Each structure stands twice: as C-alpha cells, then as structure tokens.
Amino acid sequence: MRTPLIVGNWKMHKTISEARLLARAIRDGAADVSHCQIVLAPPFTALAAVRPEIEGTPLLLAAQNVYWEPNGAFTGEVSVSMLQDAGCALVIVGHSERRQHFGETGETVNRKIRALLESPLQPIVCVGETLAQRESGDYFEIVAQQLRESLAGLTAQELLRIILAYEPVWAIGTGRTASPETAQEMHEAVRNAVSRHFDEGTARGIRILYGGSVKPENIGGLMNGPDIDGALVGGASLEAASFLSIIHYNSR
C-alpha cells in the first residue's frame, strides 16, 4: 500500500516569522490527519524556524534543492549534510522551475539524487513537459527521457527510496490544471516507464505525486487516480486554510 504524500512547496515565499506562523497553523490544523503524510518545504532561510514548529509531530521537513558536492567553494549552494543538520527528511530535485530558470538537466539531477542516496534524505524527483511539448504530442517520450536521464545507473532498491513527481510545466502557477484523466494517464505512463527500466514490483511500490495548480477544488478528483499517490502543492500551500483543505481531501 503506497501511503499518500502531500507536499507544500513554498518556493521563494515567506520570511522567517511568516514561515513559523504558517507551519504552526498547518501543524495544528492537521493534528487529526492519519490518511496521508504531510511535508513542508520552506525556503532555506526558514528551515531552522519551521523545524521546531513541527518537531515531534508526523509532519516532515523538506528542502527545495541541494548541491551534489559535500563541501567546497560553491558560493550560494547548500550541501546534503547541511540539510540533514537543518532537520530535513526530504529534498526536492529537478523541479521544472529549476530546469527552466537555472539550467538543471537530467545529468545534474542524477548527481543530486546520487548524493542524497548516500544519506538518509529522500529525494522527490520532478519530471514534466512544457506546453509546446504537450501540444506537439511528444510528451510521453519527453517525460520518459527525463526519467531515463535522472534515474540513470540507479538500482531498483535505490529507486524505492525515491519519490517521483509529475508536474506538467504548463500547469504550474498558471491556474490550468491537468484533468484527473490526463493526470492519471501520465502517472500510469510514468509507472509503466519505471516498470520497463526496472521491474513491475518496483513500479508498483514507488510513489508518484502530481504537481501543477493543485487546489482544494481539484484534489479529490486527482487523488481518485489509482496511480496518483499525492500532490506537490505550490501556491495553495502558502495559506493554511487552502493547504489544510487539500490535506483533508479524504474527509470531504
């Protein structure tokens, strides 16, 4: 049984005081939740503030990025050990905004995954197509290629430590959301790709999240998909009320 995961990616939002208040509100509002795991991914500057707010609760702390080198002259980067020391349990890698704006590639994502797998931290690995790729009809192959590059050289055992996230670029922050049918179709394709390159048991066991304008209004339909194991939530995770409504999808 794959436990659903709801991840709040705060991106470049929230000061330290704002992050502390938001984390506290989510913690209190999710105290009775048992049907899913909840993860908060604040900006680097707020990790230390959010940590004590959720420590001792089922909520987990995640970082939004990492560098693969353990230390060195890499101004502006953050290492695996730094994130582990900050209390993180998971790290998002290969987010479409990192690929689009900061030159992330399948090769760099793979290096980050390998660095994380040498630690207890769990990678959340993102893949997804742009609007042009969707309209060209090549989206299945585009996503399959991203998976091949990002997961190159990994064993099935290593893959089971990874969480995948399908996030169509055309639906991130645009208000456009893949229909539940479209999302399920792509999640099934991702799981089939994992099955082809690894094995069926690994494909059944891995969790695949959906990301892309997830809202309280569409979470229920999305989570009905048999291959959708949770959500990577952006804008709707920046307010406690909307994020809690998404978290409580199972009780509506």
Catalytic residues: 95, 167
- Angle at which helices 240-247 and 216-223 cross, to 10°: 20
Burial 86-98 (b: 16+ CB within 10 A, else e): ebbbbbbbbbbbb
Nearest to 119 by CA among 94, 97, 89: 89
In the chain the first and final C-alpha atoms are separated, in Å, by 22
Four-residue CA torsion sign, 179, 214, 191, 111: positive
Size (the chain), residues: 252
